[in-house]
Structure 1
Amino acid sequence: MGGGATLEPVDKFSRFKTGARIFNHSQLYIFTKDGCDKLCLRSFDTKTRKLDPSIATTFEFKPSRTVVSAYDRLYFLEDASPFEADPLPSFAKYNPNKKNWERMPEFPFSYPFPRRVTGYAVCYGIILYTLFDGLKSSNVVAFHVGKENWSKVEVDTHDYTPFRGWAVVVGETIYAMNLFEVDEIIAFSLKMNKRDDGGIAYSLIKLCKLDGLKIASPPCPFEGLKNDYLVHLGNHDFFHVTTGNNFEFYKVQNLCITTFQIFVREDGRHMIETLHSTVLTMDIETCGPFMVTFGFTP
């Protein structure tokens, strides 16, 4: 793809923090930061391309939180920190049809060091959260949407790799980005067994790193901050985008866009077949550098 592309703003708002989209809804729900500390939930209609006014809420959310779209609802979980006066992070649910909020069971687990949510997956009636303390310790927890209860998820501490972002569930396999490596995708499997007390015991198993992702190289290597994002196109088709900065070329920013399929070999190993990869050069002279923080299919 030759030449440069100009970024055309659809709408303007204060600093964008995070977003989520409910399946089959045209609204994109986003958290914007107004003023110093106030967070506002707003909806952007992807069809009319209009940004609606702030959605009223009786909750005050901390600046650091994760928004998950699951089973036609939005779930808001604050990051846990032992240095806050209230160590238990708030957990709330928003119903876009009734436009009402509901406080959910608080996150019941505490840790010696602050944890933040780095990734999540929605499957089997639960929301799976992976937590990381920024040092070397990670945990996985599950929230059962129907029973409205929390459970710890067992992981193999010797082989487990934390994931980041929205994990994609296809069949019985979870695909997600490696927390520590850009452009690396990992496959997981979630096992569920009934306990003697009637509850469910969860265990997350790392299957393998997926080989075969061939990303087109930008004209100049990325320097400094580099990030990527994974979008599910349906079935075993995926879209992957990588971007970053090059300090010598501050007027443009490159996007490496790759489409691929995932298949399973006869020996059971998950692999990637790259379909197409290209580099798109974006003109950022007026808008400045950017990161890819969210993506979805219409």
Structure 2
Amino acid sequence: MTKLTSCFLAIAVLFSVILAAGCTGSTTTSTPGAAPVVTPAPAISVTSLPVQYADANGVRIGYREFGSGEPLLMICGFNGTMDTMWNGTFLEILASQYHVYIYDNRGMGYSSDTNATPAISQYSDDAAALMPALDYSSMNVYGASMGSSIGQQLVIDHPERVRKLVLESVTYSIRTPDTRVLYALINATALNPTASEGVKEEAEANLAWNGTWDQLSGINKSVMLAVGTDDILTPPNVTHQIAGQINGSWLVEFKDLPHIGSRYAPVEYGETTLTFLGNNETPPY
């Protein structure tokens, strides 16, 4: 094995560890300058809920649902499935006021795939087609990591499908100087012979994505951007840049938290999300 290949595999393993950290059912405490301490807490047991299926955009999408109220669609990040992606306490808080839907992207978990070329726009088309398949013309949308890339593409390509949008651990491109660590990790995964086909396709889609920078200023929906100050994959500076492009967007930073901070501080992220989604931003206030 060459040194280069060994390096790629080591980075891919690191990425898996970062994305797997802080799984369902946890709350946190933290002190300035210290990593959050994760401790168990009562939460929704995601895998105990039945998997349902909906046909959308040429694939069969596996999903779960819980709660009641306005619909909220949760879009998984890179290498994530609905079994592993979301913190159970976080989902429980959201489901206290919203009808929450989680699902697997095509080729991942319980969802089928086609032979189409992988693309972020394809994943966003899937999300757009899933909504009417679930009997909604539009939904609130929450995307984390790659899910936030899909969320951006969704609101740009299908604005009529999005009510409000939350983008956690977000970037407008993986090829910016600030996201060089993220790019290296995605590229390493694409070259990793042990990665699953679905994960490789997600990596290829990210590498082929042209980004959204030139289209961000055209977004006219209510958008909240959330980022941890210790996020090295999608650093706060990128979130600040995006906030500057989307008129009236909310920017929320969580101190000392890493990538996908909702896994580490589910109560704080959940309550902040409910505040944003429930806020009336249409005059008269």
* TM-score normalised to structure 1 length: 0.29
Q: Which has the higher helix share?
A: 2
Work out which structure has the larger RCO, using CA pairs closer than 8 Å and 6 or more positions apart in sequence.
Answer: 2
* TM-score normalised to structure 2 length: 0.30
